[in-house]
Amino acid sequence: MNCRKSLLLMAVLLTGWSLRAQSPQPLTLDDVIPGGRTWWDHQPEMPRVMGVIPEGALIYEGDRIIARNGNNTTPILTAAEWQSMSGSSLQSLPATYPVGSGSYLQATVGDDIYFIDYRSKKLVSHYTISRQTYGEVHPSPNADYLMLTDEYNLYIAKPGDTEPRAIADDASPDIIYGQAAHRSEFGIDGGVFFSPSGRYVAFYRIDQSNVSPYPIVRMEDPIAKHSPIKYPMAGRASQHVTIGIYDTATGKTTYLETGAPEDRYFTNLSWTPDEKYLYIDEVSRDQETCQLKRYNIGTGLSEATVLTESNERYIEPQRKIEFVPTRPNLFVRLSRVNGFDHLYLYNTSGELIRQLTDGEWEVMEFWGIDPAGKYAYFSANKEHPTRSDLYRVLLKNGRLERLTTGDGTHSVQLSNDYSLAYDAFSSISVPGIATVLELGKKVKAHVLQSCDLPRDLDMRPVVELGSIKAADGVTDLYYKITRPNSLEKGRRYPVIVYVYGGPHAQLVTNSWRSLRYNWDTYMAEQGYVVFTLDNRGSANRGHAFESVIHRQLGVCEMADQMKGVEYLASLPYTDMDRLGVHGWSFGGFMTTNLMLSHNDVFKVGVAGGPVMDWRYYEVMYGERYMDTPDENPQGYAQSDLTTRAQDLKGRLLLIHGAVDPVVVWQNSQDFVNNAIKSRVLTDYMIYPGHEHNVIGPDRVHLYMTITRYFNDFL
C-alpha cells in the first residue's frame, strides 16, 4: 500500500471515529428520572442557592458559604468558623439556610439544630432534638425557641431545656395539635403561626373524632402493622378545627371562639403588626362563601367580619393578607373575586381602597410588601399564560413594573427586606440563567451564571410548544410535543399522551424542555411522540377556565384532550393506530377515563395512583369540585370508573403505592374487582411502602415498568 492510500485510509478511519465520538450516548432512565444515579449529570448546572439575604444569593463554594451579588462576593461562613461556633467535628458545612427576620442561618446535623448570626459570627442557639420523635421543627422569628410536633401533640423547646414541654394534655389520634388542617387544602402548608415578635404562637387544634379511621397496612416488619389514618371522605363527617393562641411569656393558651358550624375551614392566618388581632379566612363547608374575620387574641372573640366573598361554584382563598408596614390599618389581599387572582388594597374596616392589578391574567404568587410600605411584589403570567415574571406594584397608585427580562419562566426568591431577588430563568431554548436583582428605585440585574446549551442538543429529541382551540371552539389551550430528532420520511411513530388535567397543575410552560419532564425526551429517543395538553380545568388561567369542571369531573377535560388527539391525527408522522396515554393521580383518573370512554382510540394506558370513584376522595377537594354525593348524584355516577370496567378494550396497567394516604388503595382495587366480575383483563403493579408518589431510587424502577409496558403493547 503506497503512502497516499495509507493516508486516505487513515483519514476515513479518523472521520468515522470522529462521527462516532460526536454521536450522543443514548439516554437511560437513570439519566432522566429524579432519583436516578446520573440524573444531575443531565440537568442545567445552576448555582446551589440556599436562599437570599441582603448581601446576596447564598451559595456553597468549596468549604465556605458566600453571598454573591454580581461580582461582589461577601464571605458568610467557612467550615472552620462553623466548627469553632458549633463545636461539631463535622469537617464540611451542613445544609444551611436563612430563617426568621434577622441575620440568622439554620444548620441541622442529625439531631442537633444550630442557629448562627452570620453577621456577628456567633452561635445564637443550639438544640438537640430527637428528629425520630419530632417530625416538624418550627423556629421562632428570633430563633430563641422552637415549636415541635410529634405524631399528635405540639411542644415548645427553649435553650437549656432537658425535654420539650407539651402544649396540650389531651393529644391523641382523635385530637391533633400544630399540624396542617383540612388535608393541606386552601394553601395550608403547616399548623404553627408565629406573631411578628415571636411572643405568641397560633396553632391548629384538629378534632377528628367524628372521622372514620381508614386502614393502612405497613408491611416493613415481619408482622404487618396496622396504621390507620383519619380520612374524611366526600359527604361524610369532617374535621372540627379550632385555633389556639399560646403566650410564650405566660405559658397560657387561649382558644378563639369560632362557634358553629364546626366543619368550616380556617385558613390564611395573619397577625396584625401590633399582635393584638388575628385575621382568618373562614370558608363554609360548601366552599361557596369566604369571610375574612378579625379575632381579639386577648378575649378569643370575633370582633368583625371584615369582608365576605362568594361564588356559586366554589371559592378557594390560598394566601394570607399582608399588612402595610408603614400603615398597619391597610392590607393587601390576593383574591379571585373578579375571576382572576389579583391584588387588592383594603383598610381594616373592609373598605376597598383600590384594585392594584387587573386583567385576564393571574397573580401566581404574592411575595409580600417591602418594609417601606411602597411596593407589593408578586409573580404573574401577565405576558403569556405559559410564562412567569416578577413584578412590583406601587401601592399608592397601582403603577405596575415588570422586574425580570427574558421571555420564559422566572423562578424567584426574595430577601426578607425585599432589597434583592434571585432569579432562576429558563425558556424552551435557554437551559438557565442565574441573576441577582437589586430592587432599588432602578432595578439592576447582575448575572451570576449562564448555562450553555448541551453540546449534543441538536441530536436529541425536539421539544415544541403550540396552541389549539378547546372543545368550546374559543379558548386557547397550550401543548407540548416531544418527538424524535430526525423523522424518517414516510414513517409514522407511536404516540403517548401524558396527562394530568386537574386543578392546581400546569404542565406546559415556556421553560427548559417545558418543566423538564425528561421521561418524554427518553421515550422520544426510543421512537415515540409524547404529547401534553393543559386542558380547561388546569391551573393559572382564571376561575372560569378552571371551574368549568364543577360537578362534572372528567367531562370537559376529556373533550379538550380529544381535541389534542385530533391535532395529533393531523400530523404526518403520528401513528394513531398506536396511541397510548399515561398519567398519575388526577392524571390516573384521566388516563382510565380516556381508555374507557374512547376505547376505539386509545390502545394502551398506564394509570398511576388513580382516583376511580370520587366518593372515595377527601371532603375538602372532592366537595369543592363535585359538591356532596347527595347533592350531585348524577355527577358522581358519571365519573365513577369502577362501574365501567366492562368498557375496557385496550391494555391498561394500574399502579398504586401500597400505603397511599391521598388516593386510597381502594380506588384501583375496586376497579380491578369489577374488571374481574366483568371478565375483563387488566394489569396491575404495586409499590410496597410507597405513598402517593414513588420517590427516590425506586422511581427509576417505576419508569422501567411504565416504559416496558408501552414497549410491549404499543
Residues contacting residue 10 through CB under 8 Å, at least 6 positions apart:
none
What length does the chain have?
Answer: 714
As a whole number of angstroms, the distance between CA 312 and CA 315 comes to 8
Write down the residue that cell numbers 387488566 correspond to: 682
Residue 537's closest CA among 552, 523, 517? 552
Q: CA 565, 571, 574, 578: dihedral to nearest 10 degrees?
A: 30
H or E stretch covering 617: none
Q: DSSP code of 313? A: S
Q: What one-character-per-residue DSSP string does 432-496 give?
A: -EEEEEEESSSEEEEEEEEPPPPTTGGGSPEEEEEEEE-TTSSSEEEEEEEE-SSPPTT--EEEE
Active-site residue identified among 126, 384, 692, 701: 692
What are phi and psi for residue 54, nearest 5 degrees? -55, -25
Write down the residue that cell numbers 390599618 correspond to: 329
The answer to whether the Cα torsion of 182, 185, 186, 189 is positive or negative is positive
Degrees to nearest 5, angle at CA 639 with 635 and 640? 115
Active-site residue identified among 140, 427, 547, 585: 585
Question: What are the grid coordinates assigned to 351, written together?
Answer: 373598605
Cis bond leading into 261, ω under 30°? yes
Rounded alpha-carbon distances, angstroms, from residue 65 to 85, 415, 448: 15, 16, 15
Write down the residue that cell numbers 449529570 correspond to: 41
Question: What is the CB-side half-sphere exposure of residue 708 using CA atoms within 13 A?
Answer: 8
Active-site residue identified among 240, 660, 670, 690: 660
As a whole number of angstroms, the distance between CA 514 and CA 156 comes to 44
Give yes or no: 585 in active site.
Answer: yes
Sheet holding 683-687, edge to edge: 462-469, 476-483, 529-534, 493-498, 574-584, 604-608, 651-657, 683-687
Give yes or no: 692 in active site.
Answer: yes
Degrees to nearest 5, angle at CA 156 with 267 and 277? 40
- Radius of gyration of the CA atoms of the chain, in A: 27
Active site amino acids? 585, 660, 692
